[in-house]
Amino acid sequence: MASTRTILVFQHDASLHTLETTVTAVFPFNALEESSRLLFKDASEKHIVIVTEKTIFHPQGGGQPSDTGVLKGQSGVFTVTAVRTDANGQVLHLGLFEDTSSPFNKGDTVEQAIDVEKRLLYSRLHTAGHVLGASVRHLLEKEIENFDELKASHFPDSAACEFQGSIEGKWKDTIQNKLDGYIAAKMPVKIEWWDEEDFRSRGLERLIPDRNLVPAGEKSRVVNIIGAEVYPCGGTHVDTTDLCGPVMVKKISRKQGNSRVSYVVK
């Protein structure tokens, strides 16, 4: 099994919807180490895992669902139903070959093609989540005791941002208005690569990622929503905030001192 980290092409150019790359490993799902098998909840012994040198498929993580699509080779077509990253940084493409296809072999050239409609939806949701987070932070950072942003889900049916501190329901309309303003402003959404000094020079020490999460000698990928907020993030995004489309704050819920603001994109 290959052990080299997969090159994440989508992190540098999310506009690519197809990519030619080389197969580095093909094996049955059951051949995965247990820690990797646990990454796939709905997989069965029928499924196959393919690793490639490069990928445009976003693996599930950071609150964003994985891309789906196909790998096309001379011997047939492989349908990708789920994508995850293992502990070694390899991207695992899970799926099945079409009935008439023959399995790929290590060294084969394949063309990756993602489901473009899903990618756009997930990108809109992810950017919208960051815009919502920025809206809440700018409004409530000094209003809510011990305020902080915690985590977020950008899945279509459960999109929400979680915050430390209790946000009362009375803030819902104010948050919506702030969010609407950021969306309408068509703020540029820039992908940048920062080292620790870049964070410090901007007074954003709180955002410096854990050193264990950044490979030695590499910079951190950040999403800079110009005029709003910066987020360390490995996900895909739209180019300007208005491309999120209408974003609606659904509700604010509170539990054990923390708050969850759920949202949908239209």
* Mean pLDDT computed over 141-168: 96
Beta strands 7-8; 54-55: pairing state? parallel
Give the residue with greater pLDDT, 212 vs 9: 9
Rounded distance between C-alpha atoms, residue 5 and residue 1, angstroms: 12
**3: pLDDT confidence band, cut at 50, 70 and 90?**
low
How much is the mean pLDDT over the chain? 95
Q: Find the angle CA(235)-CA(164)-CA(250) to the nearest 5 degrees.
A: 65
The band of 241, judged by pLDDT with boundaries at 50, 70 and 90, is very high
Pick from 103, 101, 107, 91: which is nearest to 51 by CA?
Answer: 91
Fold of 7-114: Elongation Factor Tu (Ef-tu); domain 3 (2.40.30)
Please count the other Cβ atoms lying within 10 Å of the Cβ belonging to residue 86: 20
Q: Domain spans of the chain?
A: 7-114, 119-265
Amino acid symbol at 245: G
Confidence of residue 1 (pLDDT cuts 50, 70, 90): very low
User: Residue 252: which residues within 8 A CB-CB, separation 6 or more?
Assistant: 167, 168, 169, 171, 172, 175, 259, 260, 261, 262
Length of the chain: 266
Decide: helix, strand or coil at residue 242. Answer: helix
CB 55 within 8 A of CB 21: yes
User: How many Å apart are CA 29 and CA 161, to the nearest integer?
Assistant: 33
Provide the pLDDT confidence category of residue 138 given band limits of 50, 70 and 90.
very high
Count of CB atoms within 10 A of residue 177's CB? 12
CATH 3.90.550.10 is right for the domain spanning 119-265:
no
In the chain, the percentage of residues whose pLDDT exceeds 90 is 93
CA angle 28, 89, 52 (to 5 degrees): 55
Q: What is the pTM of this model?
A: 0.95
